[in-house]
Amino acid sequence: MTRSRRGALARSSEGGPFPTADPVADRALCGWRVRSVIDLPELPLWTRDDRLPDVTIAFGRVTPVESASPGMNWHVVGEGRFRFTVASVGSYRISRGRVITIDPQAGVVASAVRQYLLGTAFGVLCHQRGLLPLHASCVAINGRAVAIAGASGAGKSSLAAALVRLGYPLLGDDVCVIDASEINAPHVLPAIPRLKLWRDVLDTFGLIVDPAARILEGIDKYQAQALADRPPPPPPQVPLPLGVVYYLDQAESPDDEGFHAIRGAERAAALAGAVYRRKMGLAMGLLPQIFTATMTVGALVPGHRLLRHGDLSGLDALARSVAARQEGRG
């Protein structure tokens, strides 16, 4: 694509074309080399070998998915291609797990485009590449990945943030990418090492809110950077064995609080319910892939329901309990 064409497609309300370096530095994601037409500051720089890009992100024309429904609309194109449209943001096409094409709306801010690029588009990309994406945050404790799953609003990112404040590296927020292809060894790939936190969580931690870090216009949620006086070790850039999956939920009473082991086939069922963009994966005909992965991980990796009661004031104590269990102190 020529530079003039890129500029025509890259208009945003942040001031003309999307803010890009020329050329944009390659980034690292899940061990892949990512070459993107727009900068992705949420991802670490690629510092490894000089291989060709594993994933390419480009501007181009994408036919919008027409629907009377508001919000996100999507369609399986066939032959390893998937596209979706977000009103007032733009359209995206993900092709064979290698190329993401973005067709942004005029006037959209770059942060909104990245929000769906590193969310839904990333999840679909993982499905296409044969991986198991969970709707979960993930930290590294004692050399193993600890996944924190749960419904939207359950507190996954908040608990992960509390663990980061204790000094544990973040492997990914909102999407935890599992490679279940190796026999007896499901691993988590280092994904997007940034946290998205609601204003009340930032206030609980005593952190100053940067208005420029708002995730989407009109939503009181922000991308958090510094969570402690001393930053934690950098996220591992190699896969880590998956040690446990915690399913975070609210307890009905204080007596129900704590860790509750999930046994047998229920572990695979819990994993299936936590698959990120599961309906999209199924629509792409990937039921056998998802079924095999959830059964494999469920058979090999412990799972616990983690029930908490009360407000955000107990986050730090809960994080210490999780860390103690994973380090053999609890």
Sequential DSSP letters for 309-327: -S-GGGHHHHHHHHHHHHT
User: pLDDT value at position 288?
Assistant: 97
User: pLDDT value at position 330?
Assistant: 54
Residue-range domain boundaries for the chain:
3-128, 132-326
Distance in angstroms (rounded) separating the CA atoms of residues 89 and 233: 35
Q: Give the three-state DSSP class for 202.
A: helix
Distance in angstroms (rounded) separating the CA atoms of residues 277 and 215: 20
Q: Give the three-state DSSP class for 149.
A: strand
What would the two tokens of residue 185 be?
């060894």
Global pTM exceeds 0.75: yes
Distance in angstroms (rounded) separating the CA atoms of residues 13 and 245: 40
User: pLDDT value at position 1?
Assistant: 34
User: pLDDT value at position 232?
Assistant: 60
The answer to whether the CB of 121 falls within 8 A of the CB of 276 is no
Residue-wise pLDDT for 242-253, tens only, equals 999 999 988 777
Residue-wise pLDDT for 190-224, tens only, equals 999 888 888 888 777 777 666 667 777 777 787 77
User: pLDDT value at position 182?
Assistant: 81
Domain 132-326 architecture: 3-Layer(aba) Sandwich (3.40)
Tens of pLDDT along the chain (330 residues) come to 333 333 334 444 443 346 554 568 999 999 999 999 999 999 999 999 999 999 999 999 999 998 756 667 998 988 789 999 999 899 999 999 999 999 999 999 998 999 999 999 999 999 999 999 999 999 999 999 999 999 888 889 999 999 998 999 999 999 999 999 987 789 999 999 888 888 888 777 777 666 667 777 777 787 776 565 556 667 788 899 999 999 998 877 777 788 999 998 999 999 999 999 999 999 999 999 999 999 999 999 999 999 887 666 678 889 999 999 998 865
Rg of the chain on CA atoms, in Å: 20
Q: Give the three-state DSSP class for 12.
A: strand
Integer distance in angstroms from the first to the last C-alpha of the chain?
A: 56
